Amino acid sequence: MYSVTVSDHVMIAHSFRGTVFGPAQRLHGATYTVEATFRRERLDQDGIVCDIGRALDVLKEVLAPLAFANLDELPEFAGRNTTTEFLAGVLHERLKARVRDGALGAGTAGALASLQVVLRESPVAWAGFDGPL
Amino acid sequence: MYSVTVSDHVMIAHSFRGTVFGPAQRLHGATYTVEATFRRERLDQDGIVCDIGRALDVLKEVLAPLAFANLDELPEFAGRNTTTEFLAGVLHERLKARVRDGALGAGTAGALASLQVVLRESPVAWAGFDGPL
Amino acid sequence: MYSVTVSDHVMIAHSFRGTVFGPAQRLHGATYTVEATFRRERLDQDGIVCDIGRALDVLKEVLAPLAFANLDELPEFAGRNTTTEFLAGVLHERLKARVRDGALGAGTAGALASLQVVLRESPVAWAGFDGPL
Amino acid sequence: MYSVTVSDHVMIAHSFRGTVFGPAQRLHGATYTVEATFRRERLDQDGIVCDIGRALDVLKEVLAPLAFANLDELPEFAGRNTTTEFLAGVLHERLKARVRDGALGAGTAGALASLQVVLRESPVAWAGFDGPL
Amino acid sequence: MYSVTVSDHVMIAHSFRGTVFGPAQRLHGATYTVEATFRRERLDQDGIVCDIGRALDVLKEVLAPLAFANLDELPEFAGRNTTTEFLAGVLHERLKARVRDGALGAGTAGALASLQVVLRESPVAWAGFDGPL
Amino acid sequence: MYSVTVSDHVMIAHSFRGTVFGPAQRLHGATYTVEATFRRERLDQDGIVCDIGRALDVLKEVLAPLAFANLDELPEFAGRNTTTEFLAGVLHERLKARVRDGALGAGTAGALASLQVVLRESPVAWAGFDGPL
């Protein structure tokens, strides 16, 4: 199985609800370094998994609504804890939708097997979501 | 599949027996950066794989007996080469036992699917163990 | 000149005032990885620049008021933009005060020559302050 | 499953054919940091997945033909785009052949389950190939 | 002294003349991760060393002529070995010129004290140039 | 001022004497990633600070006596605490001697201005020595 990974980052504010979060219940923030790994059984005729420039663009595109945002105020996250792992799942879903819409090329959409999204929140903690495309 | 990774480090001394180890048969040491990745199919009601603070505590707890230790003198490793991959397996087993004992919460124990442990020993070499929880 | 560096991290929320900041005028946040480098002309009788454990403790201590905080609400920063470089200066000042108070040992305080503080805010941007102790 | 990873790097020149590559159609180059992860169900009698020194040697050996080379001039790549993912596949194949030839020891060859090769081309892009041994 | 650092990267091909370069006399290439550190005695009224967004833009601007280029073919480098340290000096000079032209703002140009440029060419080698602005 | 840095690593065992060291008084060990930065006012006729291949060789050479060693047993360190900062000073001295002996070339010896040695012992602690050549 081949794979290509692209990375970008985003800076956000948010707070969590639930005693399990301790001091992170307060409004705080994070720099997330985000890695998206696209997997594919065979390379296309150009010898690639997908266009790496387009993959970087699509990643930036799905990160844009989070960039310099207070996630507590985004309607789509109302009533949810925007934990690192939750956001990994959300970004997986949004990247998947963009891929299906042809953002990486019409031929690529059907050829990709799966996608892993990893968000690094600090030198000692990161989270991810891995699933089919 | 969702995942959460926590990381810590430990500094140890040890030596190996067997000509395959060359100069590493001498007493030497290592700084191991240790990463533990917990995987889970669905997030819990708080939106997490597990309590990241507790995960860091449990990792520190299983690393404590190795911290500033000469592994050659630890009875549980008598007659064994404490290679990086061997230690990854040992830490997997110990983390698994702690998780089953409820160290990450009673509900979390049953919900976690698997655990990967990686030990980085130098910029050019690391090892791991991956298995079910 | 000898030096010893210790590192920790902190997650905060804040916003900036001034058109120069563009989208960073909105409430957002950051994970800051903070590095404090203590410099000294000669090692002490134990062969150290300073007690590395104590240095890590003092760093954690000065970071505590920022941990999981919204810097916009901290009275001491009222009317100031808590930029990465500004925070580097603040942490330098606070570490300096703690060192002078003997937090690294009475003998160490007078022997240290200078201190550099670096805050990494993303993979592509960091800032620092370097000055005498 | 146990794993051991070794890493090395190589500096190459090349160009790509196809409009999908944009400016990378021009002759340019890359530093590839290459990681090879060998996986094995059980450790051998020495407590290892494979001899880490030999693994580093074999990795250096398969990288040697690429070191300081213009890949456009290597006959074996004629008519192919030497993309990062393509090279990951090539290195997987060559490492596999060397393992089967006994380069990691006769006993190790049959015991290894799979191999992942990752090439990091920049801080924001990397690619890999993962397959059985 | 305050400082702000921004980072970007560029992928190039080149070759060297001189037996000291060994195999690097052949046409090869590199991914350079480039870090530019701007230093300033006091922060401006916004609390910054310089506009970090503009600094990233200016860095990208001076890297543009090198991006996906064969440095052997650039007229300005004719007869020169484009070593990592040489390129650090060139980028220092070009960034200095852009700063003086007001690319970081008219007020910033006169206030900056010095600039360090570092190019990382591999995990085990990097080079830099540090000088006044 | 130009600079070139080369990096290597070494794995050692040692123990410290003095209550300031706490648990590090026990026999333990470390992986040290070692960085040597050579500085020079002007580049030589080849466009370099020094031959990077030779610099890597000289670094490996001075690290060789420490490789896979128990520093407590090395006669030259008898009665000394082999702290990270102390070792940085020792390696500075040994590299300086090798440079003066012409290990980087006869012409280079006199042209180099200074040398910084940094040893990274863990993700959160490193130390260095910086001085003239």
Give the ipTM. Answer: 0.97
Is residue D17 in some structural domain?
no
Query: Does residue A113 form part of some domain?
Result: yes
Dihedral Cα A115, A121, A124, A126, nearest 10 deg: -20
The partner residues of D4 in beta bridges, in order of sequence, read B127, D38
A124 occurs within a structural domain: yes
The per-residue pLDDT for range C42-74, each reduced to its tens digit, is 999 999 999 999 999 999 999 999 999 999 999
Q: Are strands A28-40 and A112-122 parallel, antiparallel or unpaired?
A: antiparallel
What is the length of chain A?
133
Residue F67's nearest CA partner among F94, F95, F30, F38 is F30
Q: Given CA atoms A49, A51, A54, A59 in this order, what sign does their dihedral have?
A: positive
3 state SS of E110: helix
- Other C-beta atoms closer than 10 Å to the C-beta of F94 total 17
Distance CA C88, CA F70 (A): 39
Cα–Cα distance measured from residue B10 to residue B30, given in angstroms and rounded to the nearest whole number = 8
Spatial CA neighbour of C51 closest among F24, B30, F34: F24
The CATH number assigned to the domain holding E92 equals: 3.30.479.10
Return the pLDDT at F132. Answer: 98
Angle subtended by helix axes D52-63 and D84-100, to nearest 10: 130
Q: Which pLDDT belongs to residue D104?
A: 97
Number of domains in chain C: 1
Residue in D with minimal Cα distance to E22 = D68
**Low-confidence spans in chain B with pLDDT less than 70:** none
Distance of CA D106 to the CA centre of its chain: 21
| B11 residue type, one letter | M
Transcribe chain D into DSSP letters. Answer: -EEEEEEEEEEEEE---SGGGGGGGSSEEEEEEEEEEEEESS--TTS-SS-HHHHHHHHHHHHGGGTTEEGGG-GGGTTS---HHHHHHHHHHHHHHHHHTTTT-HHHHHHEEEEEEEEEEETTEEEEEEEE-
Amino acid at B79: G
Contact in structure between E43 and E68 (CB atoms under 8 Å): no
Give the Å distances, CA to CA, from F106 to B58, F2, F46, F61, F101.
56, 19, 15, 18, 8
Chain B nearest-CA distance from F102, in A, is: 29
* DSSP assignments along B34-72, one per residue: EEEEEEESS--TTS-SS-HHHHHHHHHHHHGGGTTEEGG
**E78-118 confidence digits (pLDDT tens):** 999 999 999 999 999 999 999 999 999 989 999 999 999 99
From A7's Cα to the closest Cα of chain D, the distance in A is 5
Judge: A28–C14 Cβ closer than 8 Å, yes or no: no
Do C29 and A33 lie within an 8 Å CB cutoff? no
Domain assignment present for B110: yes
Distances (CA, A) of C127 to C88, D37, E39, F77: 7, 36, 9, 38
Of F1, F46, F49, the CB nearest to E81: F46
Residue F132 in domain: yes
Task: Please indicate whether, in this complex, the C-beta atoms of E6 and C124 are within 8 angstroms of each other.
Answer: yes
DSSP state of C131: E
Give the position of tokens 């387009």.
A54
Please give the radius of gyration of chain A, using alpha carbons only, rounded to the nearest integer. Answer: 16
Mean pLDDT score across all residues of chain A = 97
Q: What average pLDDT does this structure show over F96-123?
A: 96
Give the closest residue to B13 by CA, choosing from F68, E124, A20: F68
Distances (CA, A) of B107 to A14, A24, A125, B95, F29: 26, 21, 21, 16, 38
Is residue C100 within a helix (H) or strand (E), and if so which, with residue range? helix C84-100
Q: How high is the pLDDT of residue A3? A: 98
List the chains bordering chain E where 3 or more Cβ pairs fall under 8 Å: C, D, F
Cβ atoms of D127 and D90 closer than 8 Å: no
Residue D87 lies in a domain: yes
Which chain E residues are Cβ-neighbours of D70 within 8 angstroms? Answer: 13, 26-28
By CB atoms closer than 10 A (0-12, 13-18, 19+), residue B113 is: middle
Coil, strand, or helix at residue C114? strand
Residues in chain E whose Cβ is within 8 Å of chain C: 1-8, 43, 46-49, 51-53, 56
User: Which residue do the tokens 């340019």 mark?
Assistant: D28
3-state secondary structure of E77: helix
Residue of D nearest to E9 (CA): D122
Q: Assess if residue D47 is contained within a domain.
A: no
Q: Computed from CA positions of residues E68, E70, E73, E74, in that sequence, does the dihedral angle turn out positive or negative? A: positive
Give the SS3 label for residue A110: helix
Report d(CA D24, CA D14) in Å as an integer. 9
Residue B44 inside a domain? The answer is no
Mean pLDDT in chain C?
97
**Domain membership of residue D94 as a residue range:** 82-133
Is the separation of the CB atoms in D65 and D75 below 8 Å? no
Min CA distance, D89 vs chain B (Å)?
21
- DSSP-derived letter for residue F27 is S
Whether residue B119 contacts residue B34, with contact meaning beta carbons closer than 8 Å, is answered with yes
Taking only the tens place, the pLDDT of each residue in A26-77 is: 999 999 999 999 999 999 999 999 999 999 999 999 999 999 999 999 999 9
Interface test with E, best of C15, C20, C72 (most E CBs within 10 A): C20
Enter the tokens of residue E59.
């860095």
The CA R_g of chain D, rounded to the nearest whole Å, is 16
Give the contacts of E19 (CB within 8 A, at least 6 positions apart): E25
**Dihedral pair phi/psi, residue E37, rounded to 5°:** -110, 115
Distance from CA of E132 to the nearest CA of F (A): 10
Interface residues of B toward A, Cβ cutoff 8 Å, are 1-8, 43, 46-49, 51-53, 56
Give the number of residues written for chain D.
133
Facing residue for A86 by CB, picked from B1, B47, B56: B47
C93-98 average pLDDT score: 98
pLDDT band at D126 (very low <50, low <70, confident <90, very high): very high
CB E9 within 8 A of CB E121: no
Strand, coil or helix: B118: strand
Strands (E), chain A: 2-14, 28-40, 69-70, 112-122, 125-132
Task: List the subunits that have 3+ CB pairs under 8 angstroms with B.
Answer: A, D, F
CA-CA distance, E17 to E15, in Å (whole number)?
Answer: 7
> What angle separates helix E52-63 from helix E84-100, to the nearest 10 degrees?
130
Q: Which of D14, D23, D30 sits opposite E31 (nearest CB)?
A: D30
Instruction: Search chain A and give the residue with CA nearest D77.
Output: A47
Chain D residues with at least one Cβ partner in A under 8 Å: 16, 18, 20-22, 80-86, 88-89, 123-131
A91: β partners = none
- Print burial letters for E8-25: b (CB count within 10 Å at least 16), e (below 16): bbbbbbbbbebebbeebe
Beta pairing class for B112-122 and B69-70: unpaired
User: Are C111 and C127 in contact, with CB atoms under 8 Å apart?
Assistant: no
The answer to whether E88 touches E129, Cβ cutoff 8 Å, is yes
What is d(CA E112, CA E105) in angstroms, rounded to the nearest whole number? 11
Residue C72: phi and psi, rounded to 5, are -65, -20
- Which one-letter amino acid corresponds to residue C77? F
Give the strand pairing for F69-70 and F2-14. Answer: parallel
Structure tokens at A77: 């996250």
Write out the two tokens for F117: 């040695």
pLDDT value for B17: 98
**CA–CA dist C50, C44 (Å, integer):** 8
**CA distance, residue B40 to nearest chain D CA (Å):** 18
